């Protein structure tokens, strides 16, 4: 048993997921369960925070940017100074993931309808003396769906860009959403909380700077990464302004030139939200 459980202190749980909606919902629920909570949104943060904070439990998403969850698990098993209970989270529990979990003797929790029940069961197994508080945490908690796939919101007034985006990205293991302008994009982001937003620089009803300001001024959307695309070359002062924090929150995650070849966009999205699919052949806008 972990010392934090036996000495009366709250067990420390590090939750790692690149989806801000999932991360916020799970962190809130674990805090209600009585855990001391820390979060990370990519694999490098996991390794850094695990070494500094030394959690008792690690809830680790598989598909994350920088370092994937399985690689982080392997590194921690070899280098951690103290044992840590690990729970792997995935929307696609394939053979490699299941074999890795069995090899390291860790729980595997599937994203989807049964996520909350599986999470509770795993934590009760680790901390049976906290079972009643863990079970009570569901009362008064928001009903947040832990979705299986990353959710990408495209905000662009060009219907050709929309058709191209949906044609190529729908087979890459992502849920796709669309808004034709900044105002609609903001309200869709509030209601549906995408994993990442891809927005055109120049749009009707407010361009991307207006969209960024509204997103960063709203608690439930302020941490969603925004990729800015532009059909024309932007000046360095404009790029610098887009990258600057808005109200203390991060500016644009990346600024890309629209191109006939959208492979760069795919690679950025893959780093930000862990696509599970691969590109086949050409990835050209026609």
Let me know how many helices (H) and strands (E) the chain has, helices first.
Answer: 12, 10
What crossing angle do the helices spanning 115-126 and 20-32 adopt, rounded to 10°?
40
Asked if the model's pLDDT at residue 140 lies above 60, the reply is yes
Q: Identify the pLDDT of residue 274.
A: 62
Q: Identify the pLDDT of residue 95.
A: 84
Asked if the model's pLDDT at residue 244 lies above 70, the reply is yes
Residue range 64-98, pLDDT digits in tens: 777 888 888 888 888 876 688 999 998 877 888 88
Asked if the model's pLDDT at residue 10 lies above 80, the reply is yes
Delineate the domains of the chain, giving CATH numbers in brackets: 3-136 (3.40.50.2300), 151-273 (3.40.50.2300)
Residue range 117-126, pLDDT digits in tens: 999 999 999 9
Asked if the model's pLDDT at residue 286 lies above 60, the reply is no
Asked if the model's pLDDT at residue 198 lies above 80, the reply is yes
Q: Mean pLDDT across the stretch 216-226?
A: 87
Asked whether the CA dihedral 125, 91, 95, 71 is positive or negative, the reply is negative
Q: What angle do CA 220, 225, 228 make, to 5 degrees?
A: 125
Q: Identify the pLDDT of residue 245.
A: 83
3-class SS of residue 77: helix
Asked if the model's pLDDT at residue 272 lies above 90, the reply is no
CA distance 286 to 281: 14
Q: Mean pLDDT across the stretch 104-132?
A: 92
Asked if the model's pLDDT at residue 21 lies above 90, the reply is no
Report pTM: 0.72
Residue range 39-52, pLDDT digits in tens: 998 888 999 999 89
CA distance 49 to 173: 29
Contact in structure between 109 and 60 (CB atoms under 8 Å): no
Asked if the model's pLDDT at residue 276 lies above 70, the reply is no
Percent of the chain surpassing pLDDT 70? 89
How long a stretch of residues is the chain? 286
């Amino acid at each position: 048993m972990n010392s934090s459980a036996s000495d009366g202190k709250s067990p420390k749980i590090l939750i790692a997921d690149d989806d801000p909606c999932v991360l916020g919902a799970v962190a809130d629920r674990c805090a209600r369960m009585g855990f001391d909570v820390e979060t990370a949104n990519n694999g490098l943060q996991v390794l850094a925070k695990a070494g500094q904070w030394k959690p008792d439990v690690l809830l680790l998403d598989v598909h994350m940017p920088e370092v994937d969850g399985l690689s982080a698990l392997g590194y921690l098993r070899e280098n951690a100074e103290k044992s840590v209970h690990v729970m792997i989270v995935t929307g696609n529990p394939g053979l490699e993931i299941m074999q890795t979990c069995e090899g390291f003797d860790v729980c595997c929790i599937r994203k989807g309808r049964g996520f909350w029940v599986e999470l509770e069961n795993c934590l009760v197994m680790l901390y049976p003396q906290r079972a009643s508080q863990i079970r009570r945490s569901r009362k008064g908690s928001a009903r947040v769906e832990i979705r299986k796939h990353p959710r990408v919101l495209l905000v662009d007034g060009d219907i050709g860009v929309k058709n191209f985006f949906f044609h190529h990205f729908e087979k890459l293991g992502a849920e796709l959403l669309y808004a034709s302008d900044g105002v609609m994009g903001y309200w869709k982001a509030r209601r549906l909380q995408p994993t990442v937003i891809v927005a055109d620089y120049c749009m009707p009803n407010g361009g991307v700077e207006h969209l960024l300001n509204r997103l960063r001024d709203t608690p439930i959307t302020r941490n969603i990464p925004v990729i800015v695309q532009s059909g024309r070359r932007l000046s360095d002062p404009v790029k610098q302004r887009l990258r600057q924090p808005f109200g203390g929150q991060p500016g644009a995650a990346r600024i890309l030139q629209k191109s006939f070849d959208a492979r760069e966009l795919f690679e950025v999205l893959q780093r930000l939200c862990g696509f599970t699919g691969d590109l086949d052949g050409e990835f050209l806008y026609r």
